């Protein structure tokens, strides 16, 4: 059996993706800090945020963003850190592991294997669909991949890129990640580059499984993961190069890390959430809505515990906002310097006032409930939200529920105010916006229904699981 050049290129691209994963693992503190699945879930985002931020730094410093310079400066620091950590903290890590409850990653339960096989089939379909064809849909190549191709071929971020490429105001996080894969592929190959996106889906599912497994048995956790993985629109987006799934992944990771922080007050979780918040604003502009919502929730949590202006509260909000503020601040300065403004403009449509709200409400209801892209998710979410309203304010739930609600409300207001209103009827704009928070909503629904059904284990242990 012979292997074609294109297959070799795709294989090399996949290797680049695995290196990104390894970079995330190497930055992760302490082996016993997270369960195996959660580590895998967080590692991908950590690695990609590190890669795309470092590329931005290199470009700002005027260093050529070539493969050699890029790979050395991006892989070097985490490699050094990993070697030092491995050497210095080996014994500490072993001690941490021995304290925690070690669970095998794979279960012996045949039901677990059956559900895992179903999940495997879904993932295989996504990977085959992603690798069988080049980038297909508009935004994937016109908005993001073209920028990445230019950066890859120029080994810099040329000023001209912002003059004639679609949507110059969109953040460069994903294009930089695509450049990373292209470095490993050895040429610009948009099939190899597209492997990033099934990777996002896989990392998202690892996060979901890890989070459910912290509270439930293996079989129930796999069932809950299937509940999230079965969202049709999520599967559809895992096979082309839009930024909506990456944003959904960062939204979910943010919420999981902040929930861990709320339950344990471990600042490592806060730092993790901060890095994921940087991933949010570096992926899409609307990631800002979720970061702002989370900062407000953190402030509310601090106020409840020791007062809004207490040192702990201010420090927590400060740590959380540190990374996104740096990334977004630098990007905003760059945009101001180049005279780039937003592409979201106030609408001067004929439909105004109450008619406009009524239209928005109807279109939202149709998209959330009636069009099959989310199956029963939003029906269950609405119901659980009403019946569990008091519990939505607890540490366990606040970061899982309120970012979803806030995001949808703010998007509704933005649709009312801006020309987004005109796109409500067009193709899948609204569904793509809903996707940003849908996996998180599904996780919360799964957790709550699981609690109602008695799936939660008597003494959940969120630390030290194998």
Partner 1 sequence: MNTLAPPLFGDRSVWAILIPIILLAATTGTLLRESDTRLGGATRRWAWGLVVAVWIFGFGVGVYHQVGALRVDVSRFGGVSRAEAYAAIDHVPLWDDMQHVARLISPRRDVEVFIDYDRPDVQLMWKERARYYLYPIIVRDASPVMVRYFGQAHTPCAQVESDRTLLHEAERFCLFQVKK
**Single residue of 18, 63, 89, 166 touching partner 1 by CB under 8 A:** 166
141 touches partner 1 (CB under 8 A): yes
Count the Cβ atoms, other than its own, within 10 Å of residue 109: 14
134 touches partner 1 (CB under 8 A): yes
Smallest separation (angstroms) from partner 1 to the CB of 107? 21
**Single residue of 111, 137, 361, 389 touching partner 1 by CB under 8 A:** 137
For 421, the token pair is 């209103």
Smallest separation (angstroms) from partner 1 to the CB of 44? 22
Smallest separation (angstroms) from partner 1 to the CB of 18? 23
What DSSP state is assigned to residue 102?
P
Is the separation of the CB atoms in 287 and 281 below 8 Å?
yes
- Binding residues among 209-248 for partner 1 as defined by CB under 8 A: 226-227, 230-233, 235-237, 240, 242
Query: For residues 43 and 408, which CB has a smaller minimum distance to partner 1 in the complex?
Result: 408
Determine the Cα angle at 213 with ends 208 and 215, to 5°.
110
Query: For residues 90 and 133, which CB has a smaller minimum distance to partner 1 in the complex?
Result: 133
389 touches partner 1 (CB under 8 A): no
What DSSP state is assigned to residue 195?
T
Smallest separation (angstroms) from partner 1 to the CB of 356? 20
Q: Tell me which stretch binds partner 1 (CB under 8 A): 63-71, 94-102, 150-158, 458-466.
A: 150-158
For 367, the token pair is 């998209």
Is the separation of the CB atoms in 457 and 101 below 8 Å?
no
- Binding residues among 59-98 for partner 1 as defined by CB under 8 A: none
145 touches partner 1 (CB under 8 A): yes
Closest by CA to 261, choosing from 209, 310, 312, 323, is 312
Compute how many residues bind partner 1; rule: CB under 8 A. Answer: 56
CA distance 105 to 139: 38
392 touches partner 1 (CB under 8 A): no
Smallest separation (angstroms) from partner 1 to the CB of 244? 9
For 307, the token pair is 């007062």
Partners of 216 in the beta sheet? 456
Count the Cβ atoms, other than its own, within 10 Å of residue 19: 19
**Single residue of 110, 372, 390, 458 touching partner 1 by CB under 8 A:** 372
CA distance 49 to 70: 14
Query: For residues 242 and 320, which CB has a smaller minimum distance to partner 1 in the complex?
Result: 242
Is the separation of the CB atoms in 424 and 430 below 8 Å?
yes
Query: For residues 149 and 213, which CB has a smaller minimum distance to partner 1 in the complex?
Result: 149
Burial class (CB in 10 A: 0-12, 13-18, 19+), 325: middle
380 touches partner 1 (CB under 8 A): yes
- Binding residues among 94-133 for partner 1 as defined by CB under 8 A: 121-122, 125-126, 128-129, 132-133
Smallest separation (angstroms) from partner 1 to the CB of 249? 17
425 touches partner 1 (CB under 8 A): no
114-119 long-range contacts (CB < 8 A, ≥24 apart) are 115/219, 115/222, 115/223, 115/225, 115/226, 116/222, 118/226, 119/205, 119/222, 119/225, 119/226, 119/229
Burial class (CB in 10 A: 0-12, 13-18, 19+), 240: buried
407 touches partner 1 (CB under 8 A): no
Query: For residues 298 and 441, which CB has a smaller minimum distance to partner 1 in the complex?
Result: 441
357 touches partner 1 (CB under 8 A): no
Smallest separation (angstroms) from partner 1 to the CB of 299? 32
**Single residue of 19, 34, 119, 150 touching partner 1 by CB under 8 A:** 150
Torsion sign (Cα): 98, 443, 195, 104:
positive
373 touches partner 1 (CB under 8 A): yes
For 265, the token pair is 């007050």
Smallest separation (angstroms) from partner 1 to the CB of 121? 7
**Single residue of 164, 353, 390, 458 touching partner 1 by CB under 8 A:** 164
**Single residue of 37, 40, 65, 146 touching partner 1 by CB under 8 A:** 146
Is the separation of the CB atoms in 340 and 169 below 8 Å?
yes
Smallest separation (angstroms) from partner 1 to the CB of 379? 5
Burial class (CB in 10 A: 0-12, 13-18, 19+), 65: buried
- Return residues touching partner 1 (CB under 8 A): 6, 121-122, 125-126, 128-129, 132-134, 136-139, 141-142, 145-146, 149-150, 153-154, 160, 164, 166, 191, 226-227, 230-233, 235-237, 240, 242, 366, 369-373, 375-376, 379-380, 382-383, 387, 427-428, 431-432, 452-453
């Amino acid at each position: 059996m012979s292997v074609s050049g294109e297959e070799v290129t795709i294989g090399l691209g996949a290797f680049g993706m695995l290196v990104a994963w390894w970079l995330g693992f190497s930055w992760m503190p302490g082996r016993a800090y997270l369960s195996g699945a959660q580590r895998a879930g967080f590692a991908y985002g950590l690695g990609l945020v590190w890669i795309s931020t470092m590329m931005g730094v290199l470009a700002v410093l005027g260093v050529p963003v070539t493969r050699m310079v890029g790979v050395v400066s991006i892989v070097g620091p985490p490699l050094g850190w990993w070697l030092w950590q491995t050497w210095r903290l080996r014994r500490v890590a072993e001690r941490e592991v021995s304290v925690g409850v070690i669970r095998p990653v794979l279960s012996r339960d045949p039901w677990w294997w059956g559900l895992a096989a179903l999940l495997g089939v879904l993932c295989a379909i996504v990977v085959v669909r992603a690798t069988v064809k080049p980038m297909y849909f508009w935004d994937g190549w016109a908005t993001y991949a073209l920028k990445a191709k230019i950066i890859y071929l120029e080994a810099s971020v040329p000023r001209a890129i912002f003059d004639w490429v679609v949507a110059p105001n969109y953040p460069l996080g994903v294009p930089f990640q695509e450049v990373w894969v292209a470095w490993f592929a050895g040429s610009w190959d948009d099939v190899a580059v597209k492997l990033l996106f099934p990777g996002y889906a896989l990392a998202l599912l690892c996060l979901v499984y890890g989070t459910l497994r912290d509270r439930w048995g293996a079989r129930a956790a796999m069932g809950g993961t299937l509940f999230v993985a079965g969202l049709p629109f999520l599967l559809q987006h895992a096979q082309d190069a839009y930024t909506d799934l990456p944003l959904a992944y960062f939204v979910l990771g943010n919420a999981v890390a902040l929930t861990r922080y709320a339950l344990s007050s471990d600042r490592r979780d806060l730092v993790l959430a901060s890095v994921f918040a940087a991933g949010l604003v570096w992926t899409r502009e609307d990631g800002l809505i979720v970061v702002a919502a989370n900062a407000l929730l953190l402030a509310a949590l601090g106020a409840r515990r020791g007062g809004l202006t207490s040192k702990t509260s201010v420090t927590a909000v400060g740590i959380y906002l540190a990374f996104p503020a740096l990334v977004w601040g630098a990007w905003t300065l760059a945009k101001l310097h180049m005279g780039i403004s937003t592409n979201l403009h106030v609408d001067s449509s004929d439909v105004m006032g109450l008619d406009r709200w009524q239209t928005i409400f109807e279109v939202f209801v149709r998209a959330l409930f009636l069009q099959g892209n989310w199956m029963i998710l939003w029906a269950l979410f609405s119901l659980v939200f009403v019946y569990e309203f008091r519990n939505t304010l607890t540490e366990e739930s606040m970061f899982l529920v309120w970012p979803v609600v806030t995001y949808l409300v703010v998007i509704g207001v933005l649709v009312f105010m801006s020309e987004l209103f005109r796109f409500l009827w067009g193709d899948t704009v609204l569904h793509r916006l809903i996707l940003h928070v849908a996996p998180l909503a599904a996780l919360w629904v799964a957790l709550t229904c699981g609690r109602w059904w008695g799936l939660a284990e008597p003494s959940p242990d969120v630390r030290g699981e194998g």
